[in-house]
A and B are shown apart, each in its own frame.
Chain A
């Protein structure tokens, strides 16, 4: 099973016998399953029917599978946005906001220079604008942390809310489309063209490539090592000759860039415009993804795929089972909390 495989691989030197290790993963999953079933039953639906239709709704056909892979894309990137700073012991809760400023920047650039720049170049510029915006938004929180030692959790949470308001303003402001609450679409030449079902396009492979690249970066470069080291022992990292301030800026900036890329790709590869609520809590789900992957960039890919199945399965529900799509947040939260509680996943403090 993907889930257990992921979890077992992502666990951080559990210790104990094989039986104990297996129990640490199986018991919380059983507990989480019981809680999820109870919540679904509380909504007046049959848990097994609902969970079954979630699986068929996300993997049942080529169309559904393509949609699941396209949802995997932002989840991989938001997972990285959490995993990289978390490795440095920095709590970047700001994936949500970094995603939205990325999307805002990407749309604004696309609409402003759209008529003057040819399609392929334009999509590159839009993506870069999103990456830069997400990076800068995260560096804002890093600056507060470094300059005055402020709590980065509160700052990134506030930056999320501010980015949400900025997106709201852009959607209703001078760039509004007029009919439905969204911005005008960027020129169609700039959006990625689909070559399979359900709008599946190259954006998915971009996300996977970024995750693999960060896998190499974190394990085989000096800066990647420094980031991981600073999460374990700050003094030792400093004594080893690293400049901790630079490592923190790198960790926050790279994390923010990933989330900004997620926002830009949601515009360029999925919607072609900025739509309110298109972030779908991906930033927060990304934290769950990063934890399930044990903060390892390569394992973020299967973890994101698992949560994408939950998300797409959840959004297929409201029509068939009269259960809200919000049930996917319950499933994500309960599974990861249970794994944390049984120490199948450990996070250093």
Chain B
């Protein structure tokens, strides 16, 4: 393949491969701005990927599978909101344990119900007339799977919601100073409920996208750290869903390079695992490089409103 051919293939692949982390990172930005650091994002992505694969197996349609991950994302969001916010559990350890749980559930269900070859299907690319024929960037940006366009639309929506609406202002206030927001009359529990559910639905859609761009199949632990990479992308994009598109693209590029660079003769001797390490190394570099980035002040901290002492039952069920 000629050099320009490789470059074009890398760029096109990078845009396709960035879509799963883009969904996850855009949702995570909303959660973090409201003060919830969802380490369980990896598990939610895995559940979404599994739901999509199960939906594809049951109905034969990639679109049905993809949409099936939305209700699952809502359920995961409600459970995680209950733990992170309502019960004010430590978000880091709860998230990690949720990931362990999600790995167990998806693996067990997969081995029981989804092994064996399923039908391989793909969704045709959406070719934007005119723009898609521009040489160079045209095919990369305007001849993509529909999930790419949906993800960009989703990011634009979240950008408006988070940074340009009154609702977003309230949401961000609870992420900075929940006590002050509560004193100003905002319901921290409700705002964080919306934020966590949105974050989880987007993460589940990201996982589902991973399934549909790999022809509808599921493999054990198929997210392989993509949820954690999304956490770094959020820092890179400074909690702005539009910048997150660019951040996700860098990781799409790292992913795409490993597929294309191995085809170049002089690089064939580099071990395959070294290419796979690319995105993970970049993630660490992002964390090191983004030393100036500041998380919203209350991200990761449980919010415990001052309450009167209640009876036994109320004590147990309400913190």
Contacts and interface: CB of A to CB of B under 8 A. Distances in A.
Do A and B pair up? The answer is yes
Interface of A: 16-17, 19-20, 23-24, 27, 39, 42-44, 91, 93, 144, 147-151, 153-155, 157-159, 161-162, 165-166, 168-169, 173, 281, 284-285, 287-288, 291, 322-324, 326-334, 336-337, 340-343, 347-349
A288 B97 contact: yes
A287 B96 contact: yes
A15 to B, nearest CB: 10
A322 B108 CA distance: 10
Interface residues of B, number: 49
Contact of A340 (B89, B100, B228, B281): B89
B261 interface: no
Main secondary structure of the interface of B (DSSP, over half): helix
Interface string B284-309: 10011011000000001110000000
Contacts of A328: 104
Nearest to B301: A349
A166 B276 CA distance: 10
A165 B276 contact: yes
Interface string B228-243: 1001100100000000
Interface of B: 39, 82-83, 87, 89-90, 92-94, 96-101, 103-105, 107-109, 111-112, 224-225, 228, 231-232, 235, 271, 273-274, 276-277, 280-281, 283-284, 287-288, 290-291, 300-302, 312, 315-316, 319
Contact of A334 (B87, B101, B111): B101
Contact of B281 (A23, A39, A157, A162): A162
25 contacts: A147-B288, A150-B288, A154-B228, A154-B231, A154-B287, A157-B228, A158-B228, A162-B277, A169-B274, A173-B271, A284-B99, A284-B100, A323-B108, A326-B103, A329-B101, A329-B103, A330-B105, A330-B108, A332-B97, A337-B89, A341-B82, A342-B87, A343-B87, A349-B90, A349-B300
A341 B104 contact: no
B76 to A, nearest CB: 13
Contacts of A327: 104, 108
Contacts, number: 152
Given A144-B288, A158-B228, A284-B96, A19 B312 contact: yes
Contacts of B109: 42-43
A343 B89 CA distance: 8
* Most chain A CB inside 10 Å of its own CB: which residue of B93, B109, B231, B274: B93
Contact of A161 (B225, B274, B316): B225
A341 B89 contact: yes
Contacts of B277: 161-162, 165
Ranked 6 nearest A-B pairs via Cβ: A329-B104, A333-B101, A326-B107, A330-B104, A324-B108, A347-B90
A288 B232 CA distance: 25
A347 B302 CA distance: 11
Contact of B97 (A39, A153, A158, A337): A337
A41 to B, nearest CB: 12
Contacts of B274: 169
A20 B290 CA distance: 46
